[in-house]
Amino acid sequence: MYETCLRRLSRTLRIPGFRAGKAPIRLLEQDYGEEAEQESLSELTNQALRQAEISGQFVIASIVGINEIASDNPAERKFSATFEIYPQVALADLSQLSIERPVVEITAADIDEQLQEIQMEQGSYKTVERAAELDDLVVVSYFGTLDGAPLPDDENLTDYEMVLGETIEAWQAFDAEIVGMKAGESKVFHFTYPEDHESEALANKKVQIHLTLSEIKTWVPAEIDTEFLMDNGIADGDLDKLRAEIKEDLERKAEKTSGKLTRQRVFDALLDAHTFAVPEKLVEKEIRKLQQEDHAKMARIARILGADENTFSASDLHPPDFFADTAQRNVRLNLILDEINAIHEFRVTPAQVRARMEKNAQGYHHPEKTIARYNAAPKHKDLIAAELLEEQIVDWLLTKINVVDVPCDHKALIKMNIEAEGMDIPLPKTEGDAPSASEESS
């Protein structure tokens, strides 16, 4: 084995005076003997471990270390190997497991609330004749002085629009001076610039502001009229049709959310019913995977914000310990699901993957481009296949465990979902992103 490894190495090396693979063994040993020794030891170890696996003694999860043991017989090589094995998972009695499945019926009140949200989203600012309040958009002109001297031109603004209360904390005192003023009024007040102001000459300086308020606007929801209905896809102006579409959309989202919560509860029940140690190397691998996903998420945030995705440093990322519990859970759950699949042999067909690809693509502005990105990256197809396989297993589990349907209202479902996600806010999609297997527009 040792000589075979040396010969294999020689075919990839350039040794002066010899054709590839033709250098003498003695010459190869001088420079590459140690490397060949390690490679041959590794191959011998792997062969022995594979034979042990074939004999049915165990299934290796990871090799921790290999050490050669001294032998009195030159023709004999001995070694010791430390490795982790996959645990034997004995499935619990699924009939003893029980979960609650939230069931929601969309009501007229839910539709009214969603319709009001649409009106707010499609509203606009309207001029009002009253004193300014927080959240109002105001139009102001002002100039400042410091010790009687005018401030630089870029610190003086004319017909400047600002929303009261949306400024950073250091400028909220400025907004507070405008609250209560009416259009046409002027005011002189003192304001201290923040310490981190871009101009060092003004940072932390108390200046005198001369301000005139010319207009006050407040956000007014869109009226439900013919134009509003047409903008929302109802060409014939039938409000009942819009309400029916809203109900259908809410029902679809509620079903999806209920399914996600139910799936999570199934997994929680499985984990509670199966307690066993998991290989540390698999947990470490899962932690690295979670860290990479975290890094990719931060890079995506940077792209959305228009920043350089490489601007954040390693200190901005979560440390490995942050993912330890999640990684432990993921590995243990995967081992349970693998055992279930090994027994029942669920299968995913290419046609099913293709159908899910097309369904997912409909949630994007350019479905054909999304499908092309799926096809260009096999890993995304693999993710879809894994998702479909998991769905089959969950559907089967729901027929074996006790499922209690619990009615709940729409708001309660949303609250449960927020709590389950830990207030994780989904990021908007960008056309440059390759979609994940589970990404769909909501």
Residue 241 has pLDDT above 90, yes or no: yes
Which residues of the chain does CATH 3.10.50.40 include? Answer: 124-220
Task: Give the pLDDT confidence of 382-409 residue by residue, as tens digits.
Answer: 999 999 999 999 999 999 999 999 999 9
Residue 10 has pLDDT above 90, yes or no: no
Residue 312 has pLDDT above 80, yes or no: no
Task: Give the pLDDT confidence of 87-102 residue by residue, as tens digits.
Answer: 888 999 999 999 999 9
C-beta atoms surrounding 283 within 10 Å: 19
pLDDT value of position 77? 65
Burial 69-94 (b: 16+ CB within 10 A, else e): eeeeeeeeeeeebebbebbebeeeeb
Tell me the C-alpha to C-alpha distance, in Å, between residue 208 and each of 26, 62, 77, 152.
89, 70, 88, 13
Q: Please state, rounded to an integer, the average pLDDT across all residues of the chain.
A: 83
Q: What percent of the chain has pLDDT over 90?
A: 55
127 versus 314: the higher-pLDDT residue is 127
Instruction: Write the DSSP assignment of 240-290 as a string of letters.
Output: HHHHHHHHHHHHHHHHHHHHHHHHHHHHHHHHHH------HHHHHHHHHHH
Residue 11 has pLDDT above 90, yes or no: no
For residues 248 and 164, is the Cβ–Cβ distance under 8 A? Answer: no
For the chain, report the end-to-end CA distance as a whole number of angstroms: 59
CATH architecture type of domain 124-220: Roll (3.10)
Which residues of the chain does CATH 1.10.3120 include? Answer: 94-113+236-421
| Rounded Cα–Cα distance for residues 45 and 66 (Å) | 8
Average pLDDT over residues 195-214: 92
Which CATH superfamily does the domain covering 2-85 fall into? Trigger factor ribosome-binding domain (3.30.70.1050)
pLDDT value of position 14? 54
pLDDT value of position 442? 34
Q: What percent of the chain has pLDDT over 70?
A: 76
Task: Give the pLDDT confidence of 318-359 residue by residue, as tens digits.
Answer: 888 999 999 999 999 999 999 999 999 999 999 999 999 888
pLDDT value of position 436? 43
Task: Give the pLDDT confidence of 253-290 residue by residue, as tens digits.
Answer: 999 999 999 999 999 999 999 999 898 888 999 999 99
Helices and strands, counts by H and E, the chain: 12, 10
Residue 16 has pLDDT above 80, yes or no: no
- CATH class of the region 94-113+236-421: mainly alpha
For residues 246 and 111, is the Cβ–Cβ distance under 8 A? Answer: yes
Which residues of the chain does CATH 3.30.70.1050 include? Answer: 2-85
Task: Give the pLDDT confidence of 159-174 residue by residue, as tens digits.
Answer: 999 999 988 888 999 9
pTM higher than 0.75 for the full model? Answer: no
